[in-house]
Amino acid sequence: MAVCVAGFAFAIWARAYLGGNWGIPMSMRQGHELVTCGPYARVRHPIYSGLVLAGLGTVLALGVMWLPALVLVGLFFVMSAHTEERMLAEHFPAAYPPYKARTRMLIPFVY
């Protein structure tokens, strides 16, 4: 259960850091800023990371039968992250490439 709570906490922390830059679906607004501090200094998509971690906690708590659902959600988040990254690279052509080069996508130090 602690893994699930930690995942949700990380996702909430990341959402709070986005402030007015957050939207569903992701969209660029006038004055949109590239957030690279807080949880975004650790991974480029910390909301997705936190939700996958919460899903992993759910699988650990409720059983492996939930693993296929977690894999599907994880794949959806990876696809969404790639789509968002194309938008971010287009909107922030000078700032996004160096940020992307130094910060992992979803898992610190790994991916």
95-104 confidence digits (pLDDT tens): 999 999 999 9
pLDDT of residue 111: 81
More confident residue, 74 or 24: 74
Domain count of the chain?
Answer: 1
Residue 67: domain span: 2-102
* 68 lies in some domain: yes
| CA–CA dist 53, 13 (Å, integer) | 14
Beta-bridge mates of residue 43: 104
* 51 lies in some domain: yes
Query: In this structure, are residues 60 and 28 in contact, taking their beta carbons and an 8 Å threshold?
Result: no
* 108 lies in some domain: no
Mean pLDDT of the chain: 91
38-74 confidence digits (pLDDT tens): 999 999 999 999 999 999 999 999 999 999 999 999 9
pLDDT of residue 33: 85
- Global pTM value: 0.89
* 107 lies in some domain: no
